[in-house]
Amino acid sequence: MDVKIKGISLHMPLLFLLFSAIFPLSFSAANKPRNANKPATQSSHNHRLSSAVFKVQGNVYPLGHYTVSLNIGYPPKLYDLDVDSGSDLTWVQCDAPCKGCTKPRDQLYKPNHNLVRCADQLCSEVHLSTDHYCASPDDQCDYEVEYADHGSSLGVLVRDYIPFHFTNGSAVRPRIAFGCGYDQKYSGSTSPPSTAGVLGLGNGKASILSQLHSLGLIRNVVGHCLSSRGGGFLFFGYDLIPSSGIVWTPMLPSSSDKHYSSGPADLYFNGKATTVKGLELIFDSGSSYTYFNSQAYQVVVDLVTNDLKGKQLKRATEDPSLPICWKGAKSFNSLSDAKKYFNPLALHFTKPTNLQMYLPPEAYLIITNHGSVCMGILDGTEVGLENLNIIGDISLQDMLVIYDNEKRQIGWVSSNCGSVNSHLEGDFPHPYATNLGLFGERCPASYEVTDDQ
Ligand X SMILES: *[C@@H]1O[C@H](CO)[C@@H](O)[C@H](O)[C@H]1NC(C)=O
Residue 25: C-alpha distances to residues 22, 158, 387 (Å): 9, 19, 37
* Annotated catalytic residue, options 284, 379, 393, 398: 284
Residue 255: C-alpha distances to residues 10, 271, 280, 341, 383 (Å): 14, 29, 10, 37, 21
Measured distance CA(188)–CA(283) in Å, rounded: 24
Measured distance CA(14)–CA(110) in Å, rounded: 25
Q: Which is nearer to ligand X, 215 or 246 (CB)?
A: 215
| Smallest separation (angstroms) from ligand X to the CB of 71 | 17
Let me know: does 283 contact 401? Beta carbons within 8 Å: yes
Q: Which is nearer to ligand X, 115 or 221 (CB)?
A: 221
Which positions ≥6 away from 8 have C-beta within 8 Å? 86, 87, 147, 148, 258, 259, 282, 284, 286, 287, 385, 388, 390
Which positions ≥6 away from 299 have C-beta within 8 Å? 267, 274, 275, 276
Q: Is the peptide bond before 163 cis (omega within 30 degrees of 0)?
A: no
Let me know: does 201 contact 209? Beta carbons within 8 Å: yes
- The residues binding ligand X (CB under 6 A) are 48-50, 166, 168, 170, 217-218
181: left (phi over 0), alpha (psi -120 to 50) or beta: beta
Let me know: does 313 contact 31? Beta carbons within 8 Å: no
Would you list the DSSP string of 119-136? Answer: TSHHHHHHTTTS----SS
* Annotated catalytic residue, options 80, 84, 142, 149: 84
- Reply yes or no on whether 138 is catalytic: no
| Smallest separation (angstroms) from ligand X to the CB of 240 | 13
| Smallest separation (angstroms) from ligand X to the CB of 361 | 40
| Smallest separation (angstroms) from ligand X to the CB of 229 | 30
| Smallest separation (angstroms) from ligand X to the CB of 45 | 7
| Smallest separation (angstroms) from ligand X to the CB of 411 | 21
Q: Which is nearer to ligand X, 49 or 385 (CB)?
A: 49
Q: Which is nearer to ligand X, 49 or 438 (CB)?
A: 49
Measured distance CA(269)–CA(302) in Å, rounded: 11
- Reply yes or no on whether 284 is catalytic: yes
Q: Which is nearer to ligand X, 51 or 124 (CB)?
A: 51
Which positions ≥6 away from 434 have C-beta within 8 Å? none
Q: Which is nearer to ligand X, 215 or 373 (CB)?
A: 215
Catalytic machinery residues? 84, 284
